[in-house]
Structure 1
Amino acid sequence: MYDAGLSDCHIQILEQFQVRANLIVPVLKGSELWGLLCVHQYNNPRRWQLAEIEFVRKIAGYFAVALQQTEQLEQNQSQIALLAQVAAQERALARQKALVKITNRIRQSLNWEIICQTATEEVRQLLETDRVTIYRFNPDWSGDFLFESVVDGWKPLVGVFPTIADSHLMENQGGRYAANETFAIPDIYRAGHADCHVALLEELQARAYAIAPIFEGDHLWGLLATFQNSGPRQWRADEVELLAQIGEQLGIALQQAKYVRQIQTQSVELKQTLEELQQSQLQLIQNEKMASLGQLVAGVAHEINNPVNFIHGNLAHVNEYVTDLMALARCCQQTKAQSSEDIRAFQEQLKTVDLEFIQEDLPKILTSMKFGTERIREIVLSLRNFSRLDEAEVKPAHIHEGIDSTLLILGHQIRACSDQQPVEIVKNYSDLPPIECSPAQLNQVFMNILLNALDALEVTTQAQVNSNNSQFRDYIPRIWIDTQIYGPDQVEIRIRDNGIGIDEANKTKVFDYFFTTKPIGKGTGLGLAISRQIIFEKHGGELSFNSISGQGTEFVIRLPIQLKK
């Protein structure tokens, strides 16, 4: 090294290593200098032979090749690791998709059979196994296969394989599965199973299997099992985890199916209850109609009775007049013979008949009887308009006609409300269009509200009779009826009285079924409750009231001009 012309610092470095001669060959990694291959002679100088130099060069070349192979191996290993990672991610994505698909099917479907069939098919395709089954435990912990997806060529188990009475599962009530454990066996012949267990698995055509529990709430309901029939299989942890997740989702589906059955049962019961309530409601409405009909008939009977009595009372007079006139007519026919005796008889007959009075009174009686019959006809027509029994349930109708018909029918009650003076009806009608409604039902509402107003006025007028209080001295019982357009598409009817009003404590009960402040036998307590139902439920309207105790009550009805379809 002393004859090589090296620098002093270089010589000092070599002296530290006791080097007297060295041979240095570059080691290339591709086209780049990776390092140096150094051969040292320590104890004395050495002249390197060409063969030695060539040998070291070959060693450096081999080393360079090894470096490249090592780098390639590392690259290959990295690629393999990356591919394995990608494959794992793809498997995880596929598992997630399958899990999402089954979960969505569970959420979308209420059919337990469809859910189970979908789950077994999806799991079998995803895990690429020969069979996936759903197995249900019986109360004694024996079990049966309920659903399966199986590759062609393997015999089915569902509906074919008999009930399995596994002594271990029966004695331990589900064994490890009751503790929510999964179980995977790569080869039944290397698992240490008892001979009877292996024989059972052979009947199932299984060589490898993985099982996850299915819970219904806290109760072990059954098992989700996948079988590899064609040969052993080393189950991956992610495959067993997927099986466990699907088992959990099937448990949720079980709970959901149970809730659906409960809801369906409750729905049937509620439907029956609703039908019973509707029947009861119809009966209540019928009872109220009969009660209203009783009042209506009483009033109508009184209204018709007056003209009927008048007509009946005058029939005797008319009969007498007609009899006398018929006798005179016969006498007139007999006088044609010009017999003196007949003439004298006719003159005697004229003395017994007040012909002038008959000429004056008979037309009056006939006119009065005609007026009475017209009054009866008017009452009958109003009764027909009130009931609307011959018309469609829903049709365009004029509100004022219904109110007027109701007032006419209640004419007797209006006049009989007070012994002192009849109730004064003040009508303030606006120009309203026909509204789409059930006229008979609305007339029932008008009658209920007006009857309540008349009852309140009767109580007030009775208090007037029994009291010397000056506030009753100038009291006149009144009912105000106002109608108007309300908003763009409604009409409003206000019926107000100056009766006794409603106590504050009773205001919240006014529309309650069977609530009444009337004496027993006078009211059913259904009128206003049914009226509100007719307005709100049947017509989509509103029925409210304002009342001040001792001053009166006002009911406000708002109805749409056209019913919502």
Structure 2
Amino acid sequence: MDKDLETYQQRMAELEAANQTLRAQLAAEHQAHQHTTQELQQVRHELQSLQTQPSAQALYWVLDNLPAAAFWKDHNSVYLGCNQQFSKAAGLASPAEIVGKTDFDLPWKREEAEWFRACDRQVMESNTPELNLIEPQRQADGNQYWLETNKIPLHDSQGVVVGILGTYMEITARIEAENQLKQLNEALEQRVDERTQELQSSEARLQKLAANLPGLIFQFRLEADGTRSFPYVSEGCRDIHELEPDDFVRCFDLVHSCDRDALEQALQVSALTLSGFHHEHRIMTPSGKLKWVQTIARPEQMADDSILWDGLIIEVSDRKRAEKEQQRLLSILEATPDIVGICDAQGNHLYLNQAGQTALEIAAEDLGQVKIQACHPPEILEKIETEALPTAIQTGMWQGESYLRSQSGQDFPVSQVILAHRDEDGNLEFLSSVMRDISDLKQAEERIRQKEAQYRQIFETVIDGLAIVNLETGEMLEANPAYYQMHGYVDQASIPSNPGAYIHPDSQPIYQEFLTTVQAGHTFSGQTTNIHRDGSLIGLEIKGLPYNYQGQPHALCVLRDISQRVKLEAERQHQEQALRWIVEGTATQTGEAFFKTCVKHLALALNMQYALIAELIEDGDQQIGKTLAFWNGSDFGENFQYNLAGTPCYNVAHNHAICCHDHSIKEQFPEDNVLVTLNAESYVGIPVLNPGGKFLGYISVINTEPMEQDVELQVFILEIFAARVGAEMERMQFEQALLASTEQIQQQAQREQLLNQIANQIRISLNLDNILDTAVQEIQRFLEVDRCHFAWYIEANHNNDGYWHITSEVQVAGLSSFIGKHAASSFGALTDRLLQQEILQLDDISTVDDDEVKAVLTTLGNKSMLVLPVYAESGKFGVISCIHSQAVRPWQDHEVDLLKSVVAQLKIALNQADLLAQSRARAEELETILTQLQKTQSQLVQSEKMSSLGQMVAGVAHEINNPVSFIYGNLTHAKSYTQDLVTLIESYQQHYPNIPPKIVNIIDEIELDFLKDDLPKLFQSMEVGTERIREIIKSLRLFSRLDEAEIKQVDLHDGIDSTLTILQTRLRAQSWRPEIQVIKEYDDLPQIECYAGQLNQVFMNLLSNAVDALEELDQTRTWQQMENEPSIIRIQTQLLGQLKHPAVAIAITDNGPGIRKNAIEHLFNPFFTTKPVGKGTGLGLSISYQIITETHGGTITYNTETGQGTTFTITLPIRQ
């Protein structure tokens, strides 16, 4: 309600202010009206007094200086005159035009004119003035205005009414203000009614609100003397304070003793600063209940200096207890080392205890900016979102392990519990989570897991046999693979469970001793003989020790085959060496280097004499092997090819399978000359396939001795090499295909580049010769032919026979040029074929059937030739010829297609060139006409403008000169008269020292001594002013000779000086720049014959442009820069007597920014300007150029330098 009241009061104040403003405007308008009436009466008296004066000028001077429009009519309402304000409103050029007109001749509406005339008649017939008439009028600008009109009858010397005098003032603004005031008053009254109703309704709502609030509303007043009272207290005080409203002042006695000082201090601060009062304190009710209450109030200074608080008191005991309990729980959460957090359903942190802030590296003030999603690694976040949260939301809780991620990116495992909390309606309110860092536990588990894995790996991979034996039953419970292998078995299922079954009888006592010793808790060491599955005997070294297996005592038995120790060691070393060779042989090399390295290390790894890698070549029905690398035992051999028929390599290639012959290979393949040459005894070949099974080649290893090594190991090594070789061969094939594809793409790009080059040339220039030159150059470069040229066919006429005219040609060095004309008859039937638009493709001229054509082309030295005809719509015909002279050149289809595309582009170029020629001829004709029209129009416009300007300037100068001459001529007399009066006064003062007091007072009032001292200065100032006006008038009269048509002898310096005088206002200092300095360096010039007015126009244009340039520069400079380097215009004249015809030169130089390069070539063009719109027409320099060159037979040149300035130099002959 208070807020509404404030708004209402503010709005009332605004309306009242607007009302006062309008009243002030209305009063001002009324005062202006009274003033106008007074002035009208004064004018009437002045008119009557001026009737006896001969000076009409004085009358018009009075009328034109009236602030109101004035007019006078005769007894028929015909206008006799008016002042300037009235003629302007009537749309007349001057008051003189009003004479003889009636209101019907003026721009008023007809009904307005009739109304004005009716008022005139009423005034004249009643011989009574009509004052303060409010009437509308449409004036010359087409707008409707409100006028306050006064009309007074005019009388002759006999008192007879002979006409009417009227004045009016435009009061449209006042009428609108009065209307607006009326509307505002109506709106104000309506708003007052509305606010009264709103206040009544608001008061009722306040009473209802106070009765239903869970607290009490009060008004507390603190008087200036400290007296306290409660003007209003709601009934809630009974429930909270157990006090009646009229006894509520006792509430201060109920305040807890520990809270009284704080309450009083808060109340004083609020009273002193008039700031809001917010306080919580305890009270002890009369019944002995301790309660927490919260007080919120806003103070306001009253007119009697008392302070009134409007406020609310509510009980917050429950909230305080909850806050205390919450603080207790919070202290527990903050003290726990576990991470406790709360978030909403969108993942926004609502709470995170200190342990969580430390672990996640999140400051308390940044908690709201970090979402839950940023506290988990991505893979864990997916688990949280897809498993944990849905489970918690559905069942109320999820428990498991996850990972957290700190702000620095450090991940650590946690044991996590997520709880979903719902409100009374069952809606999800928030989620809480308790997490414990289990990094130490995870590390311990990982160490155990690693140890177990390590032990298992050792158990599975150790070369010694390991077995776990039950000491009670003597059965083997588990063994490692080495144990099974050394006995010839595969796994536990295939070996007898009791080791005694494969222990040699001689070693059975040793086995019993082993069991007894270990069962006693001791370690056993010894040797035993076991029986292999194939019946052979195995000498073993045995060691036993106690071992706890699944909570029961067992024996761990370690067996080592000492009979094979040496052999195994040798094989291990060989395997290690073979692996090194495999790594070296398949190192990251490519191409031929890879294949050579591969065969060398393959032979070393398999201990073979020869090794080769080959690819398969299909040659008709034959299959040929082509080696890519060959190792001959000590070095790399030369690559070779051989027929695979009757060789073991044929089986590899045909069956795509490994072929192995461990001995007698020559006898098995007697037709294989390679095996015979190499004296081969054993052979292993393996196919090289890609991942899709495609055959790429093969690898063969050959030895001069039978194989003794493990064949499986050799095959394994070969498979490794084959996989690597296959990858390399496939890479090389892909590389070759890529190169071929790249070459095709490059060819296509080159073809498109050629066409684009020709098309761009057509778009850029449309110059047919340039297009043809570009075409033959690009075709010769792209096709790499010996010669390429373009020839026109010129048909036979009565002057000459038909011929071929070669206009564009490119040929390789050493070939002569064919540029020129060649008779068509010399080419025989070749010309006829081309005229039939036949494409002539001759791959080998020696094979041409037509002997005549063959002979002609052979004579020209051509061996291959490709000719395409080019027809234009205009009937022109030509050919593009590509010729090879040094060797036969078969033409490819893509080359022919390319030339066809080029021919299509050339046909477009021919057609566009014809159209361009036609367009240019027409454009040149139109441009000539347009230029002449623009030139004529600009001359007419400028001539008319300057003629009008000259007439106006001359008239103004003449009108000003008369009164100025009058003033200037009388200044001398006035100065003399004044001096005589001063002398007389001084004489009086000398001879009559006792001056009467009245005269003394007059002397003091007029400050006689100051007047005597200041009068000479005043006259001197007036003389200087009139001299300046006379100089300006002289300059204006000189400059006004713009429309003089005859040639006169004039002094150029006078014309320049008069122009400078007119431009003086632009040259003097401005608020933003210093004065532009003008330096005149005049030579002794004779008078020259010229059109003086036109030359003055040229000087004005050049000097104005110089000022514009300097102002443009100064706008970019500081005041200090302008003072250090002032803007200067230098004017130099010189007599050029050394010329054949004597002449004079005038140079006008400025130190401005210079003329921009892009504007120089257009400088004298009509309508070209660098100035903003509205500041320049672009005709100044163009017309100046015509005046100097065409009218006076002189020259005008310029010299400009960027940043240095511009000089315009004019030369004029002395005699025309």
TM-score normalised according to structure 1 size: 0.41
Q: Point out the structure with the larger strand share.
A: 2
Q: Point out the structure with the larger helix share.
A: 1
Of structures 1 and 2, the larger Rg is shown by 2
TM-score normalised according to structure 2 size: 0.21
